[in-house]
Amino acid sequence: MAKSKRIGILGGTFNPIHMGHLVLAEQARGLLRLEKVIFIPTNLPPHKRVSSLAPAQERYHMVAKALKSNPRFEVSDLELIRGGVSYSVETLRKLKSIFRHTALYFIVGSDFLKEFSGWRDIDKLSKICKFVIAARPGYPLGRLPGNMQAIKVSALDISSTGIRKRIRTKKPIRYLVPEEVRKYILKKGLYRVRIKNT
């Protein structure tokens, strides 16, 4: 019997993508023996208001630049094409229709657990994919339901919020983000001013 394929899904605003995202994806790929990891930038996040949210296309381009040296990583514009608020259940349904005979592993940080019950159609989402929970500082895992699997990865103390703050205060971000992403941010003048999104 043929072994079923396994694909990891890593969604987020990636505002901007940073080395912590890449380390998480690579370590999850190795631990779970995933064929590849698909990064899916959110068009508009439903669960959080993000100040200084760069345009979706800019975030997509930054992710593409960050992934280009790793053949096991891909970026998808699925949520950007759909437009509007990005709901994971819609995205995973679409991916399941594309990858019919593939096990989908939805990679999230342990901070996801505090928002878990508020996700749209979480029961349906749980039937489409297996959740992979990576421990994050300050968010203990506790006891997990059967459709969730915990993994231990090297946690880098890097956040997109912190990177945006460093840019606004004219501090260097080299080695916090991939070099191509750093150059893109500088070239486009992203995150220099805090924008209140309504």
* Residue among 93, 43, 86, 90 at smallest CA distance from 63: 43
- Is a pLDDT exceeding 50 seen at residue 197? no
The pTM assigned to this predicted structure is 0.90
- pLDDT for position 9: 98
What are the pLDDT digits (tens) for 3-57?
A: 569 999 999 999 999 999 999 999 999 999 999 999 999 999 886 666 689 999 9
What pLDDT is stored for residue 139 in this prediction?
65
8-state DSSP, 114: G
Domain boundaries, the chain: 5-156
DSSP secondary structure letter of residue 196: -
**Domain covering 5-156 in this structure, CATH number:** 3.40.50.620
The burial of 93, by beta-carbon neighbours within 10 Å (0-12 exposed, 13-18 middle, 19 or more buried), is given as middle
Tens digits of residue pLDDT in 123-146: 888 899 999 998 766 666 777 777
pLDDT in tens, 83-113: 999 999 999 999 999 999 999 999 988 767 7
Q: Is the pLDDT of residue 198 over 70?
A: no
